[in-house]
Amino acid sequence: MAPMGIRLSPLGMAVFCLLGLGVLYHLYSGFLAGRFAFFMLSEPAAGGPETPHGSVPGGAVDLRELLAVSVLAAVRGGEEVKRVREGNVLNAKAKGKTREGAEEQLTTGDLLSNRRMFYLLKGAFPAVQINSEERVDTADQETVSWDRSIPEDIKQKIQPKEVPAESVTVWIDPLDATQEYTENLREYVTTMVCVAVNGKPVIGVIHKPFSSYTAWAMVDGGSNVKARSSYNEKTPKIIVSRSHAGKVGQVARQTFGNKTVIIPAGGAGYKVLALLDVPEKNQEKADVYIHVTYIKKWDICAGNAVLRALGGHMTTLTGEEINYTGSDGNEGGLIASINMNHKALIEKLPDLEKTSHK
């Protein structure tokens, strides 16, 4: 006789399969729930302490905080500039030519300062557009953190002010006056940061690495520097680029008289500081700053912001305001002054606008 077996009806088979599926669903859903809980505990909550700084609700940035980190960036960049120069490891090479045919120099100081400044600002305010004179090599990325501290002098003079992140453009000049840097003319060298909002310069930082002096200002905020109060408008001292002294000097003397003093100097940052009351023994003093050719915006944006904050002016040679969005160059030359009749100066120097395009 054959062994007796157990046969399940089709209904029994269906019940058995449903029970099996129920057990599997229970086990697997518990696993998924555990994984989901682990994921939620591991990730920072939205808007929590790990949210990148500068990306506050509404996509806004605080200009007081941006000023503080801009000052720090200029100082940190300046440390690299000074270290390379004092170590005499410039590795200077030509990176191209200006429109006038002069060679533009690039040094290790430019590159290291640029890297330090760019990544410090980008890490603190990742949503903000940053334009720099030197190219940023992503393969050479550096992590530079900001502890979010604000210096006491900035706290005392500047109130928090939020603006939309998309309205902000930061301009970095990691080493202004590179030519003079290679010639060891250290007094002309600066590192600069500028913040423009909707194209208008509102924050300017100019740092002198070899004397550790830093000038900063914020439009409708405050500053740590003052304008010079004494000048002679009839025979002003005019500061110009070393290579332009002859061209500008001839026109200026024809306009203001033979007693007009022409001061040749290097670096746009240094020339703006010459218009201010700067406690620096190697800083020359001037009444007007004139540049008659094409110039890059990272060279002039910080100085423009400082002058605007103190009631001064920097315009093209025809009196137009310079916009700090779009292209990185300013075609119309510039004239800068403070505590003077800026419009009258422009009207006295009509011939300079023609030379700016030569």
Given 178, 214, 260, 315, which residue is catalytic? 178
Can you give the length of the chain in residues? Answer: 358
Cα dist. 242→238, 318, 340 in Å? 12, 22, 24
| 175 annotated as belonging to a binding site for a ligand | yes
User: What whole-number distance in Å separates Cα of residue 129 and Cα of residue 122?
Assistant: 9
Task: Decide if 110 is catalytic.
Answer: yes
Q: Is 62 annotated as a binding residue?
A: no
CB burial class (10 A; 0-12, 13-18, 19+) of residue 185? middle
Tell me if 195 sits within 8 A of 165, measured CB to CB: no
- H or E segment at 353? helix 350-355
Residues 251, 353 contacting (CB under 8 angstroms): no
Please tell me which residue in 110, 260, 293, 316 is annotated as part of the active site: 110
Q: What span, in angstroms and rounded, lies between the C-alpha atoms of 229 and 240?
A: 20
Q: Give yes or no for a contact between 192 and 178, defined as CB atoms under 8 angstroms apart.
A: no
| CA proximity to 195, closest of 69, 312, 290 | 69
Closest among 216, 116, 224, 122 to 175, alpha carbons compared: 116
In our burial notation (b when 16+ CB lie closer than 10 A, e otherwise), range 138-175 reads eeeeeebebeeebeeebeebbeebebebebbbbbbbbb
- Sequence-separated (6 or more) residues with CB below 8 Å from residue 271: 239, 240, 265, 286, 289, 303, 336
Q: How far is CA 11 from the centre of its chain?
A: 77
Quote the Cα angle for 352-354-357, to 5°. Answer: 110
Find out whether 287 is annotated in a ligand binding site. no
- Please name the residues in contact with 18: beta carbons below 8 A apart, sequence gap of 6 or more: none
DSSP string, 12-51: HHHHHHHHHHHHHHHHHHHHHHHHHHHHHHHSPPTTSTTS
Active site residues: 110, 178
- Known binding-site positions for Mg(2+): 133, 173, 175-176, 299
- Known binding-site positions: 133, 173, 175-176, 299
